[in-house]
Structure 1
Amino acid sequence: MDLYERNYMMMRCLVPVMPVTGFDGVSRMDGATDLHLRVSERFRFTSEVMLTYRFERDGEIVCEPDLRVRVYHDARLAEVMTAHPRHAPAFDLEGDAAGGRVCERWRVNRFLFKWLGYCLRQGHGFRPPPPGG
C-alpha cells in the first residue's frame, strides 16, 4: 500500500486539481518529451486518467508507455489498472480475474512511481487555468 500512497502523492504533484471528465492536456517542457493526460472518468471518490508520451512512428501515433491509472481520492491511493509499456507484455488488472499476477502488479506500479518522479523532475505538471483565463 505504501507504493500506492506514494503514487497518489506524486500524481497530486503532477495534477494538483483533477480536471473534469474528457480533459485532454499536454505538458510541454523544453528539452523533454510532451506528457499527455486524459481524464476518462471523474467521480467524487475516484478518477481514471490515461498518462502517456506520444510518438510518431511510420506515420502513425504510438503511445508509450500507455498507462490507465485509477486515483482513489478518499483513500489517497493511485494504482495502475492497465499498462502497455514498451518491450513488455500488456498489463490489465481488471482482466486478471484470478488476481495471481502480484509481481507484475507491483512492477507496473513501481514503474509508475519512477516515471512520475522523472516527469516531476523535468518540471511537468497539469495546473488549472488561472481564474478568468
Structure 2
Amino acid sequence: MATKRHRVQVSPWFQLEHLFRKREFANLMAIYERNFRLLSDLAPGLAELPDTLISQVEGSNDLHWQVLDRQRYTTELMLTHYLDVGGERIADPDLRIRIYHDTRQVEMMCDVVCDDLLEVLARNQVDPGVQARRWTVNLFLNRWLEYCLIQGHRFVALELPSRCAQRTKTPAT
C-alpha cells in the first residue's frame, strides 16, 4: 500500500555532530533515545505492530519490517530494503535493531552486517575503532531512519474487518 509523502522535521546535523565530538556514555544514550523517537515516527504504536510489515512509497524501495523476538521490555527486529542485484534478492542495509520499550531507546545490533558497514565507513575515513563501533553504527541508524522518514515510509497496522458477521449453518428441520 503506497503512503503519501509529507514533510518531516529533521534536526540539523550539527546537533548530532556535537554529540559525536564528545564520546561520552550519556551522549551515546542520547543517540539511542533519538533513534527511538525516529523509529516511533516511522512505526507509530510500534509495540503493537504485527511481526511483518512492508512500507511502500512511490519512487522508493519497499521498506521491510520483520520482528525477530518480542519480550516484555525489548523487541528485536530487522529493517531492510530488498534490492534485485543480478537476479538475486539482496537485503541492503540489513539492519538488526533492538528496541528498549521501558527506557525508550533503540540500538543497532552489530554482527557481520555491521562489519561490512564499518569497512565501507573506514574506506571513507571514518574511524571504525573498537570504541567508535557503537557510535558509528548508531549514528548511521539515526541518519538512515531520517532518510526513510523523508522518503515517506510509515508502518501502520491495518484494521481487519470484524468476523462477527460470519455465516452460521442452521440445522435442517
User: Which of 69, 75, 88 in structure 1 is aligned with 2:117?
Assistant: 88
* Residue-by-residue CA offset, 1:44-95 (whole Å, 9 max, x unaligned): 21000101111111221111111100000001000011362696347xxxxx
| Corresponding position of 2:146 | 117
Contact kept in structure 2, 1:65 and 1:85, CA below 8 Å? no
| Corresponding position of 2:81 | 53
Match of 1:52, SS?
A: strand
Structure with the larger helix share: 2
- Displaced runs of 4 or more, over 6 A: none
| Corresponding position of 2:70 | 42
| Whole-Å separation in 1 of the counterparts to 2:74 and 2:116 | 30
**1:109 maps to amino acid:** N
| Corresponding position of 1:107 | 136
User: Which of 100, 106, 109 in structure 2 is aligned with 1:72?
Assistant: 100
| Whole-Å separation in 2 of the counterparts to 1:118 and 1:53 | 13
User: Which of 2, 9, 32 in structure 2 is aligned with 1:4?
Assistant: 32
Q: TM-score normalised to the size of structure 2? A: 0.64
| Whole-Å separation in 2 of the counterparts to 1:55 and 1:8 | 26
| Whole-Å separation in 2 of the counterparts to 1:81 and 1:50 | 10
User: Which of 44, 55, 60 in structure 2 is aligned with 1:16?
Assistant: 44
* Runs of 5+ unmatched residues, structure 1: 91-99
| Whole-Å separation in 2 of the counterparts to 1:112 and 1:50 | 12
Q: Cα offset for 1:32?
A: 1.1
| Corresponding position of 2:123 | none
Q: Identify which range, 75-84 or 116-125, moves more after superposition.
A: 75-84
Contact kept in structure 2, 1:28 and 1:124, CA below 8 Å? yes
Structure with the larger strand share: 1
* Runs of 5+ unmatched residues, structure 2: 1-28, 120-128, 163-173
Number of residue pairs aligned between Structure 1 and Structure 2: 122
Q: Cα offset for 1:123?
A: 1.1
